[in-house]
């Protein structure tokens, strides 16, 4: 399970750069988008925004959160 390491890494860089969760955006493509979406599900408030290109939740969240704005971007043919 890599998610705890992913969350620790985000927290590490937030601390190193002096940027709080309210100023953090996680951006991912495909598997990276899944990681970003799953991380805010596992750790609500980890980032204020997720931009997911061609990604999805691994499993849908059981509850909705307003802590993070989510942008799901998928291309057309």
DSSP state for residue 22 in the 8-state scheme: G
pLDDT given at position 64: 85
Confidence of residue 1 (pLDDT cuts 50, 70, 90): confident
Q: Give the model confidence (pLDDT) of 16-71 as tens digits.
A: 999 999 999 999 999 999 999 999 999 999 999 999 999 999 999 998 888 899 99
Give rounded-to-5 percent helix, strand, coil for the chain: 40, 20, 40
CA-nearest of 29, 58, 53, 25 to 41 is: 58
Check pLDDT > 80 for residue 77. no
- Residue 28 near residue 6, CB atoms below 8 Å: no
């Amino acid at each position: 399970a890599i998610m705890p390491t992913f969350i620790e890494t985000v927290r590490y860089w937030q601390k190193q750069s002096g940027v709080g969760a309210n100023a953090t955006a996680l951006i991912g493509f495909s598997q990276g988008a899944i990681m970003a979406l799953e991380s805010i599900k596992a750790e609500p408030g980890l980032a204020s925004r997720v931009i997911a290109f061609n990604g999805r939740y691994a499993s849908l969240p059981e509850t909705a959160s307003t802590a993070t704005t989510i942008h799901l971007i998928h291309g057309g043919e």
